[in-house]
Structure formats: C-alpha cells, structure tokens
Chains A and B, each alone.
Chain A
Amino acid sequence: MTPAHVTVAGLTIEAQTDDGSTLVIVDDVSFSIEKGQVLALIGESGSGKTTIALSLLGHVRPGARIVGGSVRLGDQEITALDMAQLRSLRGNRIAYVAQSAAAAFNPSRTVMDQVIEPALAHRIMQRPAAQAKAVALFGALGLPNPGKIGERYPHQLSGGQLQRLMAAMALITGPELIIFDEPTTALDVTTQIGVLQAFRSAVRDLGTTAVYVSHDLAVVAQMADHIVVLNKGRIREAGTTDQILHAPRDDYTRTLMAAARPVPTTGPAESDTARPLLQVDGLTAGYGKVDARGVPAIPVLHDLSFSLQRGEILGVIGESGSGKSTLARAIAGLLPPARGAVRLDGRTLPPGLAGRCRDQFRQIQIVFQNADVALNPAHSVGEILRRPLAFYHGLRGTAADARVAELLDRTRLPGTLADRRCTDLSGGQKQRVNLARALAAGPDLILCDEVTSALDTVVGAAILDLLAELRQELGIAMMFISHDISTVRAICDDVMVLYAGHAVDQGPRSAYAAPPSHPYTDMLIASVPEMRTDWLPDGAGALALPPIGGIDDSAALCSFLPRCPSRITGRCDRAFPPHRQLLSGNAILCHLEEHELRGSRQHAEAR
C-alpha cells in the first residue's frame, strides 16, 4: 500500500464562545487520503466539516485554535508551519474552491487577472505561460469560448461559470491537494450537473488529491472515492463510497440517506370539485412601467392560470430567475399584477395591498425562504407570534399567551422559546417560528417560498413533515415554491413548472412519474443527482444541442428554445408554442407531439 498523501490524525479544534467557555468543534478526527483520491466530508451545518477542510490549509477561523493532533501533507506537518511557510503553501500546493464564487471574485478585475493571480503570486509562471495554461483549463472545465472568456468581468458570467472559473484558479498552480467547499450548493440542479462533470474530469485528468465538503450525499456519490460522515465534530462513519451508500453502518448515516429522499405523502382524499380556494387567471406581472397592452417593462410572469382547492398543495418549481418568488409576491399583493385576476374563494382580490380588507390579508399568509431576515431581530418569539393574534383576532393577555404556547407546541418548539429572541435560535427553529407566525393568523392559504432550501437535509425533511401534517390536520392549502423537484413531488398534489415566467408544464403529481412531459421538466428530473456512483455521465459538462437556424429575436418564441435538447428546426423557431394536453394529465407549452416527447425523456435520461 502506498503511503497516504494527506494524513489527519487526532485533530481536535476548540473555539471560544461569547461567554468565555470553550467548545470542542472538531473532536479527535483522523483520516487519510491516498494520492489522486477524492475524499468527501459530509455532514450538516455545525458538523465541523468546513473547519476540518480549512485546517488542511493550516487555517482556523478567528476565535478557534487547534489544540491537538496533526495534519500532514506528504511529509510536511502543516500545523507546525509559521505564517510565511503557510503562505507559500496556500494557493500553490494546496488550493481552495469556496461555496459562493460570486462573492469570491473581485468585481472590478477581469476573470483572467484573477485566475492567473496564484501562479504570478507564487512566481511559478510568467504571465503569458499562465494565461495559456488558464485557457487550457477553461477548455478542460467546459467553459464556452475559452480563448475569450478571460477578458470578461465576474458580473457578466453566470454562477455556474464562475464556479468553474474558481476551479481554474485553484488548478492553475497544479496543486497536490484541492479543497472543494460546497461548490455546487448555491447552484441550480441543471447547472450543478455540468459543474460536477467538469470538476470530476479535471481532478481525474490531473491526478490531484481532493477533499470535497458537502451536505448532499447524492452529489458526493458522484465525486468521491471515500466518504467521512461527520456529526457534531466527530466521525460517525468512514468508508468507501459504495459501502456508505449501500451498507451504511451508522444510524446517523441512515438518517441522512432517508432525509435526502422524502417519502411521498398524500393529501385529503376528498375530491372537492366545488369552488376552488384560489383561482389565478392570466396573471402577468413584472417590474417597471406597464404599457398599453398591460405588459410591464421587465415582465417576470407571463399569462399564468391555475387553481388550488382547499387543503391542496400546489408545487411551483423552476430555477432561479424563473419567477417563482414573484408569483408568491403577486398573490400576496406585494407586487400588484399588471394583468389578470386572482380570485380567493370566488371573490376577486384587489391587485395591490391597498383595498384588501383585513380578512383577505388573514386568509393568505406568506412564509419566506430566509428566516434570518423574515423574523424581526428586535422582537422576541412571543412578540412575533402575538402580533398576528392581536391584529386579526383581537387576542391579548392570557388568551394570547395560551395561543402562543399552542402554536409553539404545534410547530414542535419548546414553550420556553417565547421569551427568547429569534437571533438565538437555530435555522430550523427559526423556520418553525416563521411557520407558526403564518399559522397564528388562521390562514386558508400559506405561500411557502423555498422554506426548506436554506436548511440542512435532515432539518428540511422535518419541516416538510410538519407542512404535510398541517395540511392534513388543519386543511390549509399551500403553494410550495421550490427548486428541488424531488421535494415538490413528495409533498404536492399538483405541480407547476415555471421556466422564464411561463408555466411550461402543469398537472397532477402522478403525471410527472412517467414520460412524456415538457423537455424542461425532463431536464430538471434528469439533473437531480441519484444515490449511485455511476449516475453522473463523463465529459466536461457541455452538452451538444440540436443545431437550429438563426433564431429571430423579435418574434415571441418558446422561452426554453435556446436550451432545449429536443428542439426541431422549422417548427420551434417559428412561433410561440401551443398549449398541449397530454394523456397523463399535464398541460404543457411545447411544439412537440406526445410521441415525440416520449423520445425526448429517454434522450435526457440517456445523457
């Protein structure tokens, strides 16, 4: 057996808390990686995975310190190095790829300048040589137009492209060890797949040893040879990827696996054909001035129509920028629609906030994604919950206190939380308070805007269970907005797929289980990583699309045309696609006939 390339032995890291006590954040962690292998550190937030990854760079965050153990790269002890020695190591022999590439690039310099900076800083290469190597890396990472992309500025590039450029920056010095810290967590699934492919082929081709930090087992399964499962700073289980995926030994690993694949729940069976609770007709909304035809200057949503029965959950899915959140804001009245009507219980709602009566406000409650900014940090949990009680129901004093206790109990929060400020709570607890506030109003419809996206898998799964239970017991209808099609398919009765503000695919959940569906839906489904190691196809992530003649920008065409793998010259580039009702029950916006779409799903899956 060859000696390990990276060895971590008995690593223990402590941090000082605000009240002066010490907290062990990494507890006696040992693992080793052989040269050219990829090791994944997996765990929830607070598991110490990033702290361990940073310690490989010889870095600990302010307030924390390494109290024991060793970190060795080759035969060098990293914990024993001083600042100058570490500086010559970082970005040279060890490189780091951070989670948010958008925040890691300097917006005022071209990407080429930034990508070759490590090579120049360590005096490894002259500028022309470094630029040539960068261009080669851009090509290897599947970036479009590798020769020219370096001249652009970060704001001109997409998140997925920046993440690849960040990898190019890490690889430019030919490091022995590269650390990926949740590099695809902030990306859409459709973007993630290409970035993962690019990372994997680059790391394999160069024979670099890599550490991949993530909370997502399915993503890790594509990348890693070995997996270390962490919880609260301790190693729960370590083994090869196949062993962890197929024969997990530890209970915690099994919990993680279970949370990653939510179990489908069913709603109330009653098929209530009476008046729908929410009916949306021809909704068009956006920002800027509205023209004579009722189209805003920057349209976000185009002509959406759907309805929602009492006690039903409608899933709205799409990637960032598809208009999902705008839809919730338009229904809540925060963004008055330019055209179209929203009917609640048969009555047409006034478009904006002005003119809605207090009871209409009460019926629709909105729950935002990020509980950190959705809860006022100046108020205690009790104050936050008491306000809607007083505002809608006139509850005060002991009656309100009793109801607050009941709400906390219903959302599985300890009653003692009422006096605490929400800044003291964990992410999952905050999201529960966020839900409890919506429940306090006694609503008929809750608009859930990505409520689980910012949470760890296990915590998010618990929130999903809570939502299903609330719908079951209280009969509250929900609009569940998400970018994760597996979550949506698990809890929703109906699903609407948004692409660039168009509802490209609409139908009952069952219709999504089998083809055919809209090519974009196929792409979304095919992009969700599966828990097997051979899921991710090889290649640099750039997939070839069927060629299409010059697209006429002036005409209104299918919005998915530029990315569609099933597009057909002569049909798709002529006119706006028609609404098409499929046999399985979904309505799609596509030129293709049903039998042609069947082929497209197989095409997407074969990739």
Chain B
Amino acid sequence: MSTLEQVIAIIADQAVLDPSDVKPESTLEELGIDSLGLVESIFAIEEAFDISVPFNANNPTESDFDISTVSSIVEGIERLRREQG
C-alpha cells in the first residue's frame, strides 16, 4: 500500500467513512474529524509509519506537521520518514 492509501485508510477509519470517500484534497474538518479524532489519527500514523509526529493539540496549526488536508499529511509523513529514517 502506498503512503497515501495507508493515510486514507487511517482517516477513513477515524471518520467512519468508506476509503473511497476520502480524497487527497479532503480536509479533516470536512470529513468530520474532531480534535480527539485528530489526536487518535496522529497516534495511528505514528504507529503505522514508525515515526514521531511533532504535533501539539494546543496549537495544531503552528506545528511543523501540516494537517490541513490528506495530501499535506502524506507529504509530512514522507518528510519525517526521510528525517527520522
């Protein structure tokens, strides 16, 4: 599975949606993922890719990890894998 497919699977699971309803351009907000769901998604991503995501729920937009869309999350994961790998 590609990184994108894995992220879509994680996000779809959190949002209780079919993976086909989650697009690269989807935002977490429009998928109905709340703040707890976001924290749980980050945890699932860390587990799946064996990385540590620099994310603080107090200021989600200010961290280095861009969570605005599915594809920005994929880019973030790939960068972290290069840095932490």
Is A bound to B?
A: no
Task: Enumerate chain B interface residues (CB-CB to A < 8 A).
Answer: none
Task: Name A residues whose Cβ lies closer than 8 Å to a Cβ of B.
Answer: none
